[in-house]
């Protein structure tokens, strides 16, 4: 197989994986309350003498609308759709002014097992705690944190080359290695596997950097987790 054909097939596989995860996230991002509110908004307004009692309306406040549009349903971070919009905008700026940018995928192997081993409340608390911890390790006025999947989060580091991203990645890894989640009388530990991709070395498109940082996180987990790695260029 020629090198060009092999590169093309690898690119197709990565693109399919990226869009499959995007589809999964879109399908799981709305709660039952959100769907009920959307159904109410789309319900025909005509009423006749044969109409029954008008059902109780689900009222969305401005904060509700903002949270649905921009933030994850649990963790205090951006949802994937809005995160990608922000990353795409930051990517265009980096290309225009030739400025560095890094993307980190932080995977937490076993995070979803907390719900099976303890309770759904413990799992929700763990996801919220992970999001809050990631925010505490980043520059709130510059960096961006978003949810990528059940056990994965993304961090964008504008104006940060790959060498700078490794420092942040190690800080993230060490924080989760040394810190536990306190749930009732239990101490729950989750380890971080951090994959890094940067512009321009790993790509020039937002989706490309996300896919490659995700692949790098997979490489870390394949080695046992609790580490950091660059995606191969």
The CATH number linked to 120 is: 3.30.70.270
Assigned domain for 26 exists: no
Assigned domain for 5 exists: no
Nearest CA to 208 out of 4, 1, 10 is that of 10
pTM greater than 0.75 (yes/no): no
Q: How many domains does the chain have?
A: 1
Phi, psi of 32 (to 5 degrees): -60, -40
Question: Which domain does 136 fall in, by range?
Answer: 72-230
15 CB-near residues (< 8 Å, 6+ apart): 207, 211
Burial of 209 (0-12, 13-18, 19+ CB in 10 A): buried
Nearest CA to 105 out of 24, 172, 158, 29 is that of 172
Assigned domain for 46 exists: no
Assigned domain for 58 exists: no
Assigned domain for 39 exists: no
Looking at residue 72, what is its pLDDT?
A: 87
Q: For residue 225, give both structure tokens.
A: 């987790």
Assigned domain for 38 exists: no
Assigned domain for 225 exists: yes
Evaluate if residue 4 carries a pLDDT over 70: no
- pLDDT bucket at 71, cuts 50 / 70 / 90: confident
Assigned domain for 224 exists: yes
Residue whose pair of structure tokens reads 């790993």 in the numeric block? 202
Nearest CA to 21 out of 146, 167, 203 is that of 146
Give the mean pLDDT of the chain: 82
Give 85-143 pLDDT, tens digit per residue.
Answer: 999 999 999 999 999 999 999 999 889 899 899 999 999 999 999 999 999 999 988 99
Q: What is the share, in percent, of the chain residues with pLDDT greater than 70?
A: 71
Looking at residue 233, what is its pLDDT?
A: 72
């Amino acid at each position: 197989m020629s090198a060009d054909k092999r590169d093309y097939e690898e690119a197709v596989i990565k693109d399919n994986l990226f869009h499959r995860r995007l589809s999964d996230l879109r399908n799981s991002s709305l709660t039952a309350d959100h769907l009920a509110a959307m159904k109410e908004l789309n319900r025909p307004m005509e009423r006749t003498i044969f109409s029954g009692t008008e059902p109780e309306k689900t009222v969305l406040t401005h904060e509700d609308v903002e949270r649905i549009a921009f933030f994850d349903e649990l963790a205090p971070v951006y949802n994937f759709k809005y995160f990608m919009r922000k990353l795409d905008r930051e990517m265009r700026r980096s290309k225009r002014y030739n400025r560095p940018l890094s993307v980190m995928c932080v995977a937490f192997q076993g995070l979803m097992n907390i719900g099976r081993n303890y309770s759904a409340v413990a799992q929700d608390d763990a996801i919220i705690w992970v999001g809050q911890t990631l925010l505490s390790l980043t520059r709130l006025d510059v960096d961006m944190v978003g949810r990528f999947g059940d056990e994965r989060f993304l961090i964008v580091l504008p104006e940060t080359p790959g060498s700078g991203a490794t420092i942040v990645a190690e800080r993230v890894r060490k924080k989760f290695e040394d810190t536990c989640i306190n749930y009732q009388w239990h101490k729950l530990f989750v380890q971080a596997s951090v994959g890094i991709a940067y512009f321009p070395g790993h790509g020039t498109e937002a989706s490309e950097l996300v896919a490659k940082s995700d692949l790098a996180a997979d490489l870390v987990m394949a080695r046992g987790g609790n580490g950091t790695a660059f995606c191969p260029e």
